[in-house]
Amino acid sequence: MEQLDLYKLVNENAYPGRGIVLGLAPSGKKALIAYFIMGRSANSRNRVFDPVPEIGGIRTLAADPAKLEDPSLIIYNPVRTVANAHIVTNGDQTDTVYEFMARGERFEDALRTRTFEPDGPNWTPRISGLVELEEAGCSYRLSILKSADGNGESCRRYFFEYPIPVAGEGHFIHTYKCDGNPIPSFEGEPEKVALPEEAEELATRLWENLNGDNKVSLFVRAIDLATGETEDVIINKYDAVCDEE
């Protein structure tokens, strides 16, 4: 598979929706995770990423709680950690994966209990990723749960495993192929992309290339494979409005 330019991919696509990138830094010493959200509606755009140390990850919050309409598909925990594993998804299936893995069950088993989002006619896919630290380094997995070519009665589940990551390389999966009405779902294998060494560079360049009108929030994590220590970068387009009691 051809290695692609991640920044060019997002720059040339006005609406990839929500996206996950997993991979290995060029040194081979760090795993990298990126997750971004975009929005076309006011409700989808009214969000920020908020760090939650207790879950080892982040949650989405309404930037302005007074303007929040339907929270069901936009408020969730995108990133959680369990033991030596880092979970990232575009919905509340993060918690499903966490619960399964916390009792010793598998990433795939958790996702086989879920389906795409109930937002017809788009039937937004559920995309999920997992990075597991191991003695020899790490491995990662990606998944997409999508409708059968827009058929809301039929779910297709796809799983991709990367047991021996290649230094400097990652894989990118996103909910939508491009903008449209209804919005066409992502097709094919996750795209192979080149990755930089540092979390800050990945976050800065990815954010700069996401569509300025539609981008909402971005999270990047670097995981030191020797120590398990993490470095997180969060970029929000909108400032959170605090509720006053």
- In this structure, is residue 245 part of a structural domain? no
Note the pLDDT tens digit of each residue in 187-221.
Answer: 999 999 999 999 999 999 999 999 999 999 999 99
* Containing structural domain, residue 230: 6-236
Rounded to whole angstroms, the Cα distance separating 48 from 70 reads 15
- In this structure, is residue 166 part of a structural domain? yes
- In this structure, is residue 27 part of a structural domain? yes
Note the pLDDT tens digit of each residue in 9-33.
Answer: 999 999 999 999 999 999 999 999 9
CATH number, domain containing residue 146:
3.60.20.20
- In this structure, is residue 1 part of a structural domain? no
- In this structure, is residue 243 part of a structural domain? no
pTM over 0.85: yes
- In this structure, is residue 135 part of a structural domain? yes
Spatial contact of 145 and 170, defined as CB atoms under 8 Å apart = no
Q: How many domains does the chain have?
A: 1
